[in-house]
Amino acid sequence: MKRTVPLIICSLTGFILIISWFLPAAESWGEKVTHWFDIVAAFAFVLGGANLLKIHLQKISNRRIGWGYSAVTLTAFLVTLLAGLFKINVNPSMNYPAYSWSGNYLDEGGLLWWIYEYLFVPLSATLFAMLAFYITSAAFRAFRAKNIEASILLFTAFLILLGRTYAGSLITSGLPDSLAFLRFENLTIIIMSVFNLAGSRAITIGIALGVVTTSLKLLLAVDRSYLGSD
């Protein structure tokens, strides 16, 4: 029951989805399983939220270091969740004005929209923007043109950065038309459409083979690591 049922569920689901690709009559199965997947994923979010509550409440009740930040996390979590679940400040849909719950939970003006627009978007965008500094700093420390391979990588990155900025175009704008292919923006196009294409295509083929073999190992119950040890 603990190990056999999950193995059967895994194999059955996977093979049904594979078969549905080849049988016209079973085409809708794939769509249905995708819907089921989204529903179970929604329950997984509930599980994730419950875990978040549990961990941070424990931290607060034990007065562990940084419990104040846990309180902030929980407050933000609960406010966002309630704003979303109760569609706070969301107007009804234009087509169904008599139904007060018919509006979209992310409609402009709603509290969840406010949180998304003024908290979630700026925070996530700034966190990712910070990586610009760290990537540059890490590259400066790690990248050294010690051998041919490292030099090729550095040179390509340099060309791409120059080719995609106004400065790069300006530097080589004086080249005559007969040498136009040497302009940074044109070199970038050549790198992307020939050399990068070849490399990424080989990587993509390798990844595809990896995905296919890993999937088969899971569906044929050769790989059972997801079941845990007990």
Partner 1 sequence: MKNSSLLWLVIFLLAGGYLIFRTSHGDMGISYVKVTTISPEKSNVQWTQYSKASKKEAGEENVQFSWSRTIGLWVAALSTLAIFSFLYGDNVFYKISESVFIGASAGYAMAVGFWDGIVNLLLRNLTPGLMRESIIPSIPKENHADWFFIIPLILGVAMLARLLPKGGWIARWPLAFFIGATAGFRLVVFFHADFIIQIQSTILPLIVFTDGSFDWQTSLKNITIIIGVLSCLVYFFFSVEHTGIIRPISRLGIWFLMITFGAGFGYTVMGRIALLAARLEFLFSDWLWLIDVE
Binding residues among 172-191 for partner 1 as defined by CB under 8 A: 191
Asked if 93 contacts 100 with a C-beta cutoff of 8 angstroms, the reply is: no
What is the C-alpha to C-alpha distance for residues 220 and 37, in angstroms, rounded to an integer? 20
Closest approach of partner 1 to the CB of residue 176, in Å = 18
94 binds partner 1 (CB under 8 A): yes
Burial zone of 181 (CB within 10 Å; 0-12 exposed, 13-18 middle, 19+ buried)? exposed
How far from chain centre, in Å, is Cα 23? 31
Minimum CB distance to partner 1 smaller for 10 or for 183: 10
18 binds partner 1 (CB under 8 A): yes
What is the C-alpha to C-alpha distance for residues 203 and 185, in angstroms, rounded to an integer? 25
**Other CB atoms within 10 A of residue 205 CB:** 10
Closest approach of partner 1 to the CB of residue 172, in Å = 16
What is the C-alpha to C-alpha distance for residues 87 and 115, in angstroms, rounded to an integer? 12
Asked if 15 contacts 7 with a C-beta cutoff of 8 angstroms, the reply is: no
167 binds partner 1 (CB under 8 A): no
Minimum CB distance to partner 1 smaller for 105 or for 172: 105
Q: Per CB under 8 A, which region of 57-65, 149-157, 169-177 contacts partner 1? A: 149-157
Q: Which of 27, 31, 50, 58 binds partner 1 (CB under 8 A)?
A: 50
Minimum CB distance to partner 1 smaller for 179 or for 198: 198
Q: Which of 156, 169, 172, 186 binds partner 1 (CB under 8 A)?
A: 156
Which residues make Cβ contacts (< 8 Å) with residue 99, sequence separation at least 6?
A: 92, 93
What is the C-alpha to C-alpha distance for residues 208 and 28, in angstroms, rounded to an integer? 25
Q: Per CB under 8 A, which region of 57-65, 155-163, 171-179 contacts partner 1? A: 155-163
Minimum CB distance to partner 1 smaller for 142 or for 174: 142
202 binds partner 1 (CB under 8 A): yes
How far from chain centre, in Å, is Cα 91? 31
80 binds partner 1 (CB under 8 A): yes
Q: Hey, which residues between 108 and 127 contact partner 1 (CB under 8 A)? A: 108-109, 112, 114-127
